[in-house]
Structure 1
Amino acid sequence: MGSTITLHNVAKTYPGGQPALRRVSLTVAAGEFLVLLGPSGCGKSTLLRMIAGLETITEGELHLDGTLANDLDPSERDTAMIFQSFALYPNMTAAANIAFPLAVQKQDPALVSQRVESAAHALGIGHLMNRLPGRLSGGERQRVAMGRATVRRPSVFLLDEPLSSLDARLRTRLRLEILSTVRKSGATTIYVTHDQSEAMALGDRVAVLRDGILQQVDTPRILYTLPANAFVASFVGTPRISLIHGTVHAPIDGAMAISLGAQQLSLPMPLSRDHQMLRVMQGSPLLIGLRPEAVRIAEHTRATSFERPLTGIVEHVEFQGHETLLHLTVGGRPADVPDQTVPGPPSRPARGSAADLARRLAQRAAGLSPWQRRPSEPHHPPATAVPTGPRGELVVRAGNGGFPQRGRHLPLLIDVRGLFVFDARGERVSPDPTRIPDL
């Protein structure tokens, strides 16, 4: 049975004052498969090594099944770690490598043989037991490493990018084998990766890290449909979400619209709850996010009541076999994800500010008192100003029915229900940040 892992305000600072992790709080339920996702250098491997006992904890507390584990030796934590480099003993056969943890514990030889045989059979490497690691392929060595980790039946598996050195086809096959193996064991699993597709395919939940700061922890579906901020929205999803600078126009006697530079998207009346809260953002710099499924080519089709027209100019055609992706300019300015600053304690925005009015409007619509927060509402760190760019870009899935030439003008329909709106710091404004997901 797996162990519950609890991190409370855990931080890691290296000599010289360089922070690797900043006050990370996280609970992993017994038997859960949690993925730590983020770009290189964000602190995910450091966090894994702190749980394993291979890195000291500078601040905060780590609990394993309720027991404070900050100062426990790695051997006392009942964890098994699998590395990217496999870390097999080159002078031992595959069988001896798998048996090594049990041999160190001086287990009964008959029990050791039985467990090694069982692990090898489960991983499909029974015919490789007499080979040295040098005579094994990358995928076979990774299976041996997995067998060595599972043979002593730990309560926690820690996997540090175990598939990143393998080719794409083998990664897809092995990740399913890893998932099956740890599910059968019942162990709690934390899996580190920078591959969002891998994270979304494997995780019960995914924890997204950026520069040592935890951005969001949710199921893959909620991460995709309700990202906490522009960084999460851009990091999760293929093709990547399009971010464009925009502003809201809300005339008293006319329809509200979102300007994307040279073109505007009028919002259907009556306004949805998510669009109502955009009124108080009028004139503020915003980031407008659109995923490819919210955009379609409008030739020979009629718009629904939730779709609004735009015109795009083809800049690049990307053929991917099963589909074609069109990169289109719409006359706006593309936006990068804002830089991140270190979060401080939660504070109220200035009374009467746009952020204050937006929050009050959303809470009033939800039936909350002005400063009441839902228990599930996270605090998201602020970010610095948004860099500018020359033009806007959308990505559209075009199927394989045709290949428009570069420079061609295409009529588009935008489903405004799929709009993501972020403020200049990258925090999500719409969909409603106070919404409790029903996904």
Structure 2
Amino acid sequence: MGSTITLHNLAKTYPNGQKAVRRLSMTVADGEFLVLLGPSGCGKSTLLRMIAGLETISGGELHLDGKMANDLQPSERDIAMIFQSFALYPSMTTAQNIGFPLAVQKQDHDRVNARVHSVAQTLGISHLLDQIPGRLSGGERQRVAMGRAVVRRPSVFLMDEPLSSLDARLRARLRTEMLAITRSTGATTVYVTHDQAEAMALGDRVAVMRDGVLQQIDTPRSLYALPANAFVGTPRNNLLHGTVHAPVDGVMALSSGAQKITLSYPLTHDHQMLRVVQGQPLLIGLRPEAIRIADRTHATVFERAMTGIVEHTEFQGHEALLHLSLGGQRADVPDQLADHAPHAPARRSAAAFVRRLRHRTGLLGRRLPHPGNTQPPAQPPARKDIGELVIRDSPGARHRRGQHIPLLIDVRNLLVFDERGERVSPDPTRVPDL
């Protein structure tokens, strides 16, 4: 069985003043598979090491099954950790590496041998028991590392990006096997990754971190459909600058550059709340699946017409991604913690470098000369950008750069954030159709 992990205002501050984790609170249920998701440097690995006892806790409380664990030694926590680097003993065979935790506990040799063979058979590496790590592939070494963690049947698994060094095909296969093994043991698992697709595929819930702060924790579906802020909603999301127009005697609309998206009546709960931010700068989020190329089928009552200009086609094999310009301005996620995060200046410098590069090469946002939202402009704009909108298309479609594409936007799946990046009127009881 697993253990319940409870974090209450957990914090980590290094001697140089860097705050790696900031007053983070959450509970991981017994047997749950929780994924910590975030970019490099957000504090997710530090948090994992604090749970394991490899990092001291600067503030707050850590409870394992209701027992205060702040000062417990790693060996007292019944936790197994799998590292990104595998951390195998190079001079030991596969069998010795897997059985090492039991050997340290001075368990009976026959019992250790039986457990090692059982685990190796489950992981499909029985034929490798006499091999040393240097003769194994990356996937085989990862299985050995997992076998060493599984063999002593811990109540908690902690995994720090264990698959990131493997190729995509092997990573997809191993994560399925890994999930099956952890489920079979009943152990509580906390898994660290920066890969959103991996997080959504593995997690019962996903906890998103940024600059040491927990942004949101929820099921993958709810997290994707109802992000709390623009940072959580950014992956696979088009983010545009815009404003709300809500005339008393007219139709409410969201404008982005030269084009507008009128909203359906009756308004949804979220759309009704847009009246309070009328005229204020907003960020409009559009998922690729909320946009389709207009064809001979009629638009639904929830779809609104817009026009895009093809800037670039990204072929993915099973689909193509079209980068389009709408004549608006692509938005970046606001740096909400710029005044507090110790590593924010480097991020601002990187963003400034990109802006300077785009300025010097003429790759700036632009506006379409046509004021309407249903007809394409007579001539494509002179400046070319990579486009502020990305949509999915069939792999067989052949669109040319500069081609005008009629689009239909499903207004039910619009995400609207204020200028700080917080979602306008988040309603956790409503999960829209995707």
SS in 2 for 1:407: coil
Deviations 1:222-272 (A, max 9, x none): 11000111000013xxxx200000000111111111111111111122322
> Which residue does 1:360 correspond to in 2?
none
Q: Distance in 2 between matches of 1:210 and 1:19?
A: 12
Q: Distance in 1 between matches of 2:208 and 2:37?
A: 5
- Out of 252, 274, 277, the residue aligned to residue 273 of structure 2 is 277
Q: Distance in 2 between matches of 1:160 and 1:325?
A: 31
> Which residue does 1:3 correspond to in 2?
3
Deviations 1:205-226 (A, max 9, x none): 0000001000000010011000
> Which residue does 2:246 correspond to in 1?
250
Give the drift of 1:342: 8.2
Q: Distance in 2 between matches of 1:4 and 1:312?
A: 50
Amino acid at match of 2:325: T
Q: Distance in 1 between matches of 2:414 and 2:427?
A: 17
Q: Distance in 1 between matches of 2:147 and 2:237?
A: 39
- Out of 430, 433, 436, the residue aligned to residue 429 of structure 2 is 436
Deviations 1:331-352 (A, max 9, x none): 00000000022899xxxxxxxx
Q: Distance in 2 between matches of 1:133 and 1:2?
A: 30
Deviations 1:146-170 (A, max 9, x none): 0000100000000000001000011
Unaligned runs of at least 5 residues, structure 1 = 345-383
SS in 1 for 2:162: coil
Deviations 1:348-390 (A, max 9, x none): xxxxxxxxxxxxxxxxxxxxxxxxxxxxxxxxxxxx9x99962
RMSD of aligned C-alpha atoms?
Answer: 1.8
Deviations 1:95-128 (A, max 9, x none): 0000100000000111101100110000000000
> Which residue does 1:365 correspond to in 2?
none
> Which residue does 1:380 correspond to in 2?
none
Answer yes or no: is the 8 Å Cα contact 1:222–1:437 preserved in 2.
no
Unaligned runs of at least 5 residues, structure 2 = 341-347, 356-363, 367-386
Answer yes or no: is the 8 Å Cα contact 1:48–1:160 preserved in 2.
yes
> Which residue does 2:380 correspond to in 1?
none
> Which residue does 2:410 correspond to in 1?
415
Amino acid at match of 1:427: E
What TM-score do you get using the length of structure 2 for normalisation? 0.88
How does 1:299-378 map onto structure 2 within 5 Å? 299-341=295-337
Give the drift of 1:438: 5.9
Q: Distance in 1 between matches of 2:255 and 2:232?
A: 23
How does 1:167-206 map onto structure 2 within 5 Å? 167-206=167-206
Percent of residue pairs identical:
72
- After superposition, the Cα gap between the structure-2 partners of 1:111 and 1:437, relative to the gap in structure 1 and judged at 3 Å, is farther
Query: Which 4+ stretches in 1 moved above 4 angstroms?
Result: 386-389
Answer yes or no: is the 8 Å Cα contact 2:102–2:152 preserved in 1.
yes
Q: Distance in 1 between matches of 2:81 and 2:339?
A: 31
SS in 1 for 2:234: helix
Q: Distance in 2 between matches of 1:438 and 1:395?
A: 23
Give the drift of 1:414: 0.6
Q: Distance in 2 between matches of 1:280 and 1:247?
A: 12
SS in 2 for 1:222: helix
> Which residue does 1:16 correspond to in 2?
16
- Out of 405, 422, 428, the residue aligned to residue 427 of structure 1 is 422
Give the drift of 1:72: 0.3
Give the length in aligned residue pairs: 393
- Is 1:399 aligned to residue 374 of structure 2? no
SS in 2 for 1:87: coil
Q: Distance in 2 between matches of 1:75 and 1:248?
A: 57
